[in-house]
Amino acid sequence: IHNMPVEPTEDTLSFYVVFQCSFLKPDSVDTYLSGICHQLEPYFPTIRQMRKSSIVHRTLQGCMRLHGSPTSRKRALTLDDLSIVIAQTDHNSYDDCLFLAMILTGFFALLRLGEMTFPDDKSLHNWRKITRRSTVSISDDRYQFLLPAHKADRFFEGNVVIVNKRQFAHNPLCHFDHYLRLRDTRFPLASPLWITSAGHVPTRSFFTRKLALFFDKGVAGQSMRAGGATSLAEHGVAPALIQ
């Protein structure tokens, strides 16, 4: 179409990226480019080096910025949202109290949903990441437990999670303590801290189903961590401390 030489060069690969990104998503063009390199490598052995060249890489990055799809983010939870959950929770229901303790802890401790639940896919369950009841400690003004692993903890060193009693307009300690009493009465010998009425570690879908009873699809599991960080920033906490 463009009367270019058949032998590929860094420039022709770069031009190809720009041309195709006018019709396709940059992610697809990146995949196509890898397929082209695989097909042409027997005839042009240096094509992979050209594919990895700076100009091709930067062209792809530029097209990502120009034509990439915007990231869809969920809404961050607010302190008022937590008030709704607290007010509408059935405090006589074990699973409802579990959910309330989880969402308050996740919000104020900036936890990811995956750090309190199992994936829905059973093949991905990892018991080394489960918080143990034996690590919990409660005092008059706070509660704490050991998070054995998280996304940034590659060596499973663990971190102590501390949640203070007074958190702006809420008191997560009383709700956590209430759940813990119910849990210890029903499952005194069980090891996991978070455990459903059926005796299982809660799954991601367990939490999201409960969450859907209070909020629309704009709120999801990551809304806890985002909401907690946003709330701290709104109350003047230094960004370095939030990090």
Angle at 144 between CA 146 and CA 208, to 5 degrees: 80
Contact residues for 194 (Cβ-Cβ < 8 A; gap 6+): 98, 102, 116, 117, 131, 201, 202
| 14, 49, 165 from 9: Cα distances, Å | 9, 10, 64
> In this structure, are residues 116 and 176 in contact, taking their beta carbons and an 8 Å threshold?
no
CA distance 226 to 80: 15
User: CA end-to-end span of the chain, whole Å?
Assistant: 52
CA distance 210 to 189: 26
**80 φ, ψ to 5°?**
-65, -35
Q: Which residues pair with 137 in a beta bridge?
A: 144
CA distance 181 to 211: 23
Position 206 scores a pLDDT of 97
Q: Provide the residue-wise pLDDT of the chain in tens; the chain has 243 residues.
A: 888 888 999 999 999 999 999 888 888 999 999 999 999 999 999 999 999 999 999 999 999 888 877 777 889 999 999 999 999 999 999 999 999 999 999 999 999 999 999 999 999 999 988 999 999 999 999 999 999 988 777 777 889 999 999 888 899 999 999 999 999 999 999 999 999 999 999 999 999 999 999 999 999 999 999 999 999 999 999 999 988
Tokens of 154: 């590659």
Contact residues for 202 (Cβ-Cβ < 8 A; gap 6+): 98, 102, 116, 117, 118, 194, 195, 196
Position 6 scores a pLDDT of 87
Torsion of CA 146, 151, 156, 158, to 10 degrees: -20
Tens of pLDDT, residues 65-112: 888 777 778 899 999 999 999 999 999 999 999 999 999 999 999 999
CA distance 200 to 136: 19
Position 154 scores a pLDDT of 72
Instruction: Specify the pTM.
Output: 0.73
Q: Domain residue spans in the chain? A: 10-67, 79-127+163-241
